[in-house]
Amino acid sequence: MLHLGDLKGAPPGSRGRSRAAEAVPDWPARLAELAAAARDPRLRAFYAAGAVAGDTALKDVPMVALDVETTGLDPARDEIVSIGLVPMRARCIRSSASRYWVVRPRAELNPESVTIHAITHAQVEAAPDFGAIIDELLPALAGQVVVVHCREIERAFLDLALKARIGEGLEFPVIDTMELEARLHRRPPPGFFSRLFGRKPAPVSIRLADSRERYGLPRYRAHHALTDALATAELLQAQLAHRFAPETPLRQLWC
């Protein structure tokens, strides 16, 4: 994934944005609503698969870790170049059932992003348009809670990519490992003495690689959609093992 902060122009205030700031929908109800409204049959099938209830214990939640690589950070201008999916449960990552697609953006690849995700022009030339993989992508996500690191990117890019192809957007429940990290390291309001002396606590990085390191997870090469999806899945397992009991209801995590 393109981590916020990797490139200039990251959406202001997106880092560590609190979950409370956005209202978390009642996902089963929301998806039912969307299913009723959807026109595209594929999208309708996706929404109809629904979501498990918010009180489902974490250990019983079907999940899929997702990462997209893009040509840049602006969903309005940039496009998806690859997507990685790794199905998982709280205790086991089914990397053997991983999925991976390279897709061809409509605009030219810019050289700067090629150096980041290492997908070359040749690979992209041979790849299908995003529209051609919707048939495979939506069923792979249907009924699952999607696990991402920094939900703004994945949500916005998938939403816009779909809108551009079928005229309808996409919504889905996510667990955001970055948001889970931010809960731990969110800065408390500066205390009196700190304000007095202008002291700031050392910032804690909640980027994927840094978060993984705190849990003793190995260092992976970043910016490959499938590797980043696996890395995100592993991070979630570590977070769950250390901080959430298997019986914890899903609603405490999703957004």
Partner 1 sequence: MQVEQLEILDFLRARPPFADLPEEALQRLAGAIDVRYYKAGERIVDFGEPAAFWHLVRSGAVEVYRRNGTLYNRLTAGGYFGEFGLLRYGRVRFPATALEDSLLYLVPGEVFGALFEQYESFADYVEVEDRTRLRQVMSRREESNDLLSATVDTLVGRAAVTLPSTASAREVAQRMSAEGVSSLLILDDNPEVPGLPQLAGIVTDRDLRTRLVAPGLSYDTPAAEIMSRGVVAVNHNQLVFEAMLAMLRHNVHHLPVLKNQRPLGVIALSDIIRYESRNSLFVVGSIFRQQSVDELAAQVPEVRACFARMVGEDASSHMVGSAMAAIGRSFKQRLLELAETELGPPPVPYCFLALGSMARQEQLIVTDQDNALVLDNRFDPARHDAYFKALAAFVSDGLARCGYSYCTGGVMATNARWRQPLQVWERTFSDWIERPTPESLLNAGIFFDLDGVWGRTEWADRLRELIARKAKGNARFLACMARNALLRTPPLGFFKDFVVESDGRHTRAINIKRRGTAPLADLVRVHALAIGSMSINSFERLKDIIDAAILPLGRGQDLYDALEFISMVRARHQAESLAVGEEPDNGIDPEKLSEFERKSLRDAFLILGNAQKFLKYRYQPGRAN
CB of 92 to partner 1, least distance (A): 5
CB of 191 to partner 1, least distance (A): 32
- In the shown chain, the binding pattern of residues 15 to 34 toward partner 1, with x for contact by CB under 8 A and - for none, equals --------------------
Which position among 163, 242, 246, 252 is part of the footprint of partner 1 (CB under 8 A)?
Answer: 242
- In the shown chain, the binding pattern of residues 154 to 193 toward partner 1, with x for contact by CB under 8 A and - for none, equals ----------------------------------------
Which position among 238, 244, 249, 255 is part of the footprint of partner 1 (CB under 8 A)?
Answer: 238
Q: Interface with partner 1 includes 59 (CB under 8 A)?
A: no
* Residue among 13 and 218 whose Cβ is closer to partner 1: 218
How many angstroms from the chain centroid is the CA of residue 238? 17
- In the shown chain, the binding pattern of residues 204 to 233 toward partner 1, with x for contact by CB under 8 A and - for none, equals -----------xxxx-xx--x-xx--xx-x
Interface with partner 1 in residues 97-116 (CB under 8 A) = 98-100
* Residue among 100 and 169 whose Cβ is closer to partner 1: 100
CB of 99 to partner 1, least distance (A): 6
Name the β-bridge partners of 174: 146
- Residues in contact with partner 1 by CB under 8 A are 91-96, 98-100, 215-218, 220-221, 224, 226-227, 230-231, 233-234, 237-238, 241-242
